[in-house]
Amino acid sequence: MASKLQVSDQLKLPVISADDYVTKNQGAFFQYLKLEELAAALRLHELCIFEGVCCLQILQAVGVHANVLVYVKRMAIWGWADEDELESFVSTPRGPSGATPTEIRDPLQITLRNLWEEVAQYHRQYRPHEVANLMYERNAA
């Protein structure tokens, strides 16, 4: 399996990661992105590899269009590891342990639930797994 850096080296393209432009440990992702800084970094390059969760939402927010969209699916023995959770999470949100939001007391579990809910909502709105030009399937392990 080739890493982002190996692909970047082969294509001779810089990698820009959304994670490098988010204020950490806030319990959410998109609302804590430093969008102006990220937009400036993207505009420095005519072509680059941009990676990160919620990438279509981010690109829309900064007014940049993806030439090619690669969706990375986390696969398990039975198929797409996250499919059921992404499809059903927004209607019946549960924490990683299966607890409902009112049953969760651990701050880490609350943060993980909030982040997972944000990713699920992004998938429901943008459908990145359906609009991608290429699909890359990686092992869940």
Domain end, chosen from 67, 89, 109, is at: 67
- Helices marked H in 16-100: 35-43, 55-62, 83-88
Q: Are residues 52 and 102 in the same domain?
A: no
Determine if the pTM surpasses 0.85. Answer: no
- 84 and 110 belong to one structural domain: yes
* Residues 1 and 61 grouped into a single domain: yes
Lowest mean pLDDT, pick from 16-20, 40-44, 76-80: 76-80
Same domain assignment for residues 41 and 79: no
The closest of 17, 13, 9 to 37, measured between CA atoms, is 17
Mean pLDDT of the chain: 80
Residues 21 and 47 placed together within one structural domain of the fold: yes
Tokens of residue 42, six digits: 């993207």
- Tokens representing residue 68 in the block: 């090619």
Q: In this structure, are 75 and 44 located in the same domain?
A: no
d(Cα 100, Cα 81) in Å, to the nearest integer? 21
Interacting residues of 46 by C-beta distance below 8 A, sequence separation 6+: none
Same-domain check for residues 92 and 57: no
Q: Within this chain, do residues 109 and 138 fall inside the same structural domain, yes or no?
A: yes
pLDDT digits (tens, 9 = 90+) for 25-72: 888 899 999 999 999 999 999 899 999 999 999 999 999 999 999 888
Query: Which residue range forms the structural domain that includes residue 2?
Result: 1-67
pLDDT of residue 139: 79
Strand partners, 71: 135
Residue 21 scores a pLDDT above 60: yes
Q: Give residue 3's pLDDT.
A: 61
Domain stop point among 67, 87, 109: 67
Q: Same domain, yes or no, for 75 and 61?
A: no
Q: How many residues does the chain have?
A: 141
pLDDT value of residue 95: 47
Domain count, the chain: 2
